[in-house]
């Protein structure tokens, strides 16, 4: 049997491949043949079907590998498995995946696929080429470290991976092992808390936790599984590292500390650290909490509205015990020195200075319409006419602020509008 692997515009043909874990990005075609022949599509020349073939786009292939399969070589060579390094005539090979059909490996950040027969022949004959030196595994990366490297490949590109690593892979892992463990613990806890909040505080989950993670992961977030396991967390750390680059990775992880600061402020404002039930917030206390949430999210590049902050407050009031439990999980995972400073901001964000300068008096109907429009409740003209659109906007705002709902912009509604807008 001859198997063809389609990689983008190129096709790599391997002999004796019997595998089932390739997905829609890699098309497998089996052909009957009596002899193993192969075209090298890089140059159009015929070559040995068992020679290593370059993988042109490793970022599409490597994340889908099964790293738990093995290739048994027999004798004193034993098994070939993910994370090992083997010596061959072309140098030191880091194994990414191995099974009875094929072996995926890299040499100096370049990726190759080879039939198991070809791999076996090269690593077992290497000792004779080198004067009897045994071709056995020299070093071994842990499975979670391999998942992290696979995440780096997924978050970057073939060239990007080489730039991120920038050195021999084992040296790279050893040099960064301490940070990897710390970041894995932080990300794992945040993902655990995020899943917990999805059930008890969906706005806090969506507009805070998920929004910050989206900023950290950017467009590679979809590649990180939702399940929180050691492997998926290690993979997620790699994705962040690969997408951000080695220099920027530390700054990306510091953004995660914003989530701790926000939960900490919620716990303090509602008195959850001293009582099991949430305290009712006075208007000024709510204003301070809202400013802190908005300011800290701005620090992480996330915009949140006053209405969304109000929903978070409602969730805390309904589920105080669960919110405190979420904070307790996160508390202590980040060192105090790693947490960003608490940064309050004006309640309405973003409201530009001209909006405040041009605002009519709050006790005028035009002032009511102007502020409702700034808050997103009203889309009509600022004309001082108390029409249906204005009344509907007033009712929506009164409902949100939990004050008397009558559609009349009286003194209490005017005060709430000033508090929400900041002017």
Mean pLDDT score, 171-193: 84
Domain boundary among 307, 338, 369: 338
Which of the two residues, 135 and 66, has the higher pLDDT score?
66
Mean pLDDT score, 230-243: 80
Q: How far is CA 3 from CA 98, 342, 361, in A?
A: 16, 58, 77
Judged against a pLDDT cut of 70, whether residue 159 lies above it is answered with: no
Query: How much is the pLDDT for 112?
Result: 92
Judged against a pLDDT cut of 80, whether residue 178 lies above it is answered with: yes
- pTM to 2 decimals? 0.60
Task: Look at the chain and report how many structural domains it folds into.
Answer: 3
Which residues face 94 on adjacent strands?
85, 106
Helix (H, G, I), strand (E, B) or coil at 127: helix
Percent of the chain residues past pLDDT 70, beyond the cut: 74
∠ CA 353-354-356, nearest 5°, is 70
Residue pLDDT, tens place only, 21-61: 333 333 333 333 322 333 333 444 446 788 899 988 888 88
Task: Find the range with the poorest average confidence among 56-70, 216-230, 294-308.
Answer: 216-230
Mean pLDDT score, 150-173: 77
Domain boundary among 140, 157, 183: 140
Does residue 148 sit within a domain? no
Judged against a pLDDT cut of 80, whether residue 360 lies above it is answered with: no
**Do both 177 and 283 map to the same domain?**
yes
- Of the candidates 326, 336, 324, 315, the one whose C-alpha atom is nearest the C-alpha of residue 274 is 324
Query: How much is the pLDDT for 185?
Result: 86
For residue 352, give both structure tokens. 């530009």
CATH code of the domain containing 382: 1.10.101.10
Report residue 135's pLDDT band, with 50, 70 and 90 as the boundaries: low
Report residue 6's pLDDT band, with 50, 70 and 90 as the boundaries: very low
**Do both 32 and 121 map to the same domain?**
yes
Q: CA-to-CA distance for 260 and 180, rounded, in angstroms?
A: 19
Q: CA-to-CA distance for 216 and 227, rounded, in angstroms?
A: 18
**Do both 215 and 277 map to the same domain?**
yes
Domain of residue 412: give its range.
353-421
Query: How much is the pLDDT for 344?
Result: 58
Q: CA-to-CA distance for 381 and 385, rounded, in angstroms?
A: 9
Task: Find the range with the poorest average confidence among 174-178, 278-282, 293-297, 392-396.
Answer: 278-282
**Do both 218 and 255 map to the same domain?**
yes
Helix (H, G, I), strand (E, B) or coil at 39: strand
Judged against a pLDDT cut of 50, whether residue 7 lies above it is answered with: no
**Do both 79 and 211 map to the same domain?**
no
**Do both 229 and 370 map to the same domain?**
no
Mean pLDDT score, 208-215: 82
**Do both 251 and 357 map to the same domain?**
no
Number of residues written out for the chain = 423
**Do both 224 and 371 map to the same domain?**
no
Query: How much is the pLDDT for 35?
Result: 27
Does residue 52 sit within a domain? yes
Judged against a pLDDT cut of 80, whether residue 362 lies above it is answered with: no
Task: Find the range with the poorest average confidence among 127-136, 266-275, 386-395.
Answer: 127-136
**Do both 185 and 327 map to the same domain?**
yes
Query: How much is the pLDDT for 115?
Result: 93
Report residue 297's pLDDT band, with 50, 70 and 90 as the boundaries: confident
Does residue 147 sit within a domain? no
**Do both 186 and 314 map to the same domain?**
yes
Does residue 14 sit within a domain? yes
Domain boundary among 306, 338, 370: 338
Write down the mean pLDDT value for the chain: 75
Does residue 407 sit within a domain? yes
**Do both 206 and 325 map to the same domain?**
yes
**Do both 390 and 259 map to the same domain?**
no
Judged against a pLDDT cut of 90, whether residue 63 lies above it is answered with: no
Q: CA-to-CA distance for 160 and 365, rounded, in angstroms?
A: 58
């Amino acid at each position: 049997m001859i198997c063809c692997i389609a990689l983008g515009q190129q096709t790599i043909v391997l002999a004796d491949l019997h595998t089932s874990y390739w997905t829609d990005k890699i098309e497998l075609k089996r052909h009957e043949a009596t002899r193993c022949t192969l075209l090298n599509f890089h140059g159009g020349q015929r070559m040995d079907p068992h020679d290593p073939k370059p993988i042109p786009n490793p970022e599409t292939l490597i994340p889908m590998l099964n790293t738990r399969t093995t290739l048994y070589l027999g004798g004193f060579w034993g098994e070939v498995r993910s994370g090992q390094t083997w010596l061959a005539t072309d140098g030191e090979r880091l194994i990414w995946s191995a099974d009875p059909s094929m072996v995926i490996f890299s040499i100096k950040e370049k990726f190759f696929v080879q039939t198991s027969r070809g791999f076996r022949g090269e690593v077992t004959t290497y000792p004779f080429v080198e004067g009897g030196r045994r071709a056995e595994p020299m070093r071994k990366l842990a499975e979670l470290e391999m998942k992290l490297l696979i995440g780096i490949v997924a978050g970057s590109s073939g060239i990007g991976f080489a730039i991120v690593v920038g050195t021999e892979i084992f040296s790279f892992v050893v040099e960064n092992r301490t940070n990897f463990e710390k970041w894995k613990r932080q990300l794992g806890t945040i993902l655990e808390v995020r899943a917990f909040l999805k059930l008890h505080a969906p706005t806090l989950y969506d507009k805070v936790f998920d929004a910050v993670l989206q900023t950290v992961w950017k467009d590679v977030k979809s590649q990180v599984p939702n399940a929180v396991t050691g492997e998926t967390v290690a993979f997620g750390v790699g994705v962040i590292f690969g997408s951000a680059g080695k220099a920027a990775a530390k700054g990306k992880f510091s953004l995660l500390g914003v989530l701790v600061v926000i939960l900490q402020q919620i716990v303090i404002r509602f008195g959850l650290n001293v009582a099991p039930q949430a305290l009712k917030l006075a208007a000024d206390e709510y204003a301070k909490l809202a400013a802190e949430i908005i300011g800290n999210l701005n620090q992480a590049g996330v915009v949140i509205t006053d209405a969304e902050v109000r929903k978070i407050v409602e969730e805390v009031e309904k589920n105080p015990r669960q919110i405190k439990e979420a904070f307790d999980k996160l508390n202590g995972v980040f060192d105090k020195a790693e947490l960003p400073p608490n940064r309050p901001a004006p309640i309405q964000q973003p409201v530009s200075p001209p909006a405040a300068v041009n605002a009519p008096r709050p006790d005028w109907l035009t002032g009511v319409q102007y502020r409702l429009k700034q808050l997103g409740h009203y889309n009509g003209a600022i004309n001082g006419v108390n029409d249906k659109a204005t009344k509907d906007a007033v009712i929506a705002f009164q409902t949100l602020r939990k004050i008397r709902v009558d559609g009349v912009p009286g003194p209490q509604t005017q005060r709430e509008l000033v508090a929400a807008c900041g002017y």
